[in-house]
Amino acid sequence: MEAPNLDFLFYPRSVAVIGASNVPGKVGNAIMRSMTLRFDGKVYAVNVKGGEIEINGKKFPVYRSIKDIPDEVDVAVIAVPAKFVPDVIDECGEKGVKGAVVISAGFKEAGRADLEEEIVKRARKWGIRLVGPNCLGVTNLENGFDCNFNPPERQARPPFGKVAFMSQSGAFGAAILDWAANHKIGMSKFISLGNMADLDESDFMAYLGDDPKTGVITGYIEGVKDGRKFFNTAKEVTLKKPIIILKAGRTEAGAKAAASHTGSLAGSFKIYEAAFEQTGVLSAKSMRQLFNYAKALAMQKPAKGNRVAIVTNGGGAGVMMSDGLLESGMKLAELSEETNEKFRKDIEAGKLPAHMSYKNPIDVIGDAPSSRYEVAMRYALEDPNVDVLVVIALFQSPALDEGIVDAVAKMQEYGKPIVFVAPGGEYPHKMARNIELRGVPVYETVEDGVDAVYALVKYGEWLMENGRL
């Protein structure tokens, strides 16, 4: 399918907030606060009461109707009671608005499918594309366009980065934004899908597939609007960039809850699993797993095989990683005789300690400085039997110096994906940030590292099957 051009939704020159309010705590007030924090386009306040409101230290005249605004308006953000939305859509149409984000609830999810059909009918008459209703809106982390009504002191916004996220649940989407901000995961665009009366998950997948600012597409869905459209879109987009979906409603009880939440028909999870498998979509089982996958794929190239080498200064962590990888369908790389010979020679020459183990997992032992890590990582990556390298560093060891940061960064010259695992507290977290600034993803636990490798291998397999890697 041809991707819809939705740039007007994410890069508007001017926005009207319909239902803008001067009262703190009101949705229309919160949207105005979000819209005027970083967005450099024009923002207009609309409310039938008129007057003037002050937001973020700036005064705005309040227009009684969007039609009274003297300039052109690209996008309308609508936060008025549901019963008034159809007429507001007509006014937006007369004004020449291209897109409307309907924050208001009280439609299909509340048993008013007729009201939802009415706003779609009116939007189509004017050629307006709708987001929602019953949603948090959209956020573009690049330019500050943000109609999310959760205030920044309650819900942080992540830094700009490569991961786009769309969510059928506004509350879960808000939690994801907060969580991503806390974990310094950069995001490009956030879309709260709501009831998907017009634009649905497939439309946004297609758009994000062509978006140069997005490297990885992620989403929380309860059900898809059009199964065939989703299947065809996903199959096409995954050849360009990874799609990771957290599908809720996997159980019968969950499916019933989804129906009352956004009016979604969740359907059998087995059908979704089969569709994901056939279209190259990675299925995540938890929020944490979703972002474990996303971070790895945003920062590293997909793997060309499933043979993994491990370099660690803790034997136990190496064993746990081996178990996790094998249980996830990966293989421990069998190092070549040439690689074994390199290790043997260095041990004989006294460059490496005799008590270290160079069978995969390569255990450089707890007294390893960064120079020993560098040798082991280099030998592993030079081995043709290795597709992915996992580096585990227990930074609690006083022997491991900060040179490991540059040593790991240098290893990227081999062009093979690298995953770093650094369990622990404050000091490992500090080192992790420095390593990530150099382009290598770092994970807190062995289990998270297994997720990362799985994503890199699984997506690599899909691309190779389709001749794209």
Domain positions in the chain are 6-297, 301-466
Q: Is the pLDDT of residue 266 over 80?
A: no
Q: What is the pLDDT of residue 250?
A: 64
Q: Which CATH superfamily is domain 6-297 in?
A: Succinyl-CoA synthetase domains (3.40.50.261)
Residue 381: Cβ within 10 Å count: 19
Q: What is the pLDDT of residue 414?
A: 98
b/e sequence 221-233, b meaning 16+ C-beta within 10 Å: bbbbbeeebbbeb
Q: What is the pLDDT of residue 261?
A: 46
Q: What is the pLDDT of residue 179?
A: 87
- Condensed to tens digits (0 to 9), the pLDDT of residues 348-384 reads 999 999 999 999 999 999 999 999 999 999 999 999 9
User: Is there a contact between 192 and 138 (Cβ–Cβ < 8 Å)?
Assistant: yes
Q: Is the pLDDT of residue 76 over 80?
A: yes
What is the mean predicted confidence (pLDDT) over 23-47? Answer: 96
Q: What is the pLDDT of residue 153?
A: 86
pTM for the full predicted model? 0.94
- Residue whose C-alpha is closest to residue 421's, from 402, 401, 403, 394: 394
Q: What is the pLDDT of residue 341?
A: 98
Name the CATH code of domain 301-466 (choices 3.40.50.1970, 3.40.50.261, 3.30.70.270, 3.40.50.620). Answer: 3.40.50.261
Place of tokens 């019963």: 83
Read off the DSSP letter of residue 109: G
Q: Is the pLDDT of residue 256 over 70?
A: no
- Token readout for 43 is 């923002």
Domains 6-297 and 301-466 share a fold: yes
Q: Provide the 3-class DSSP secondary structure of residue 48.
A: coil
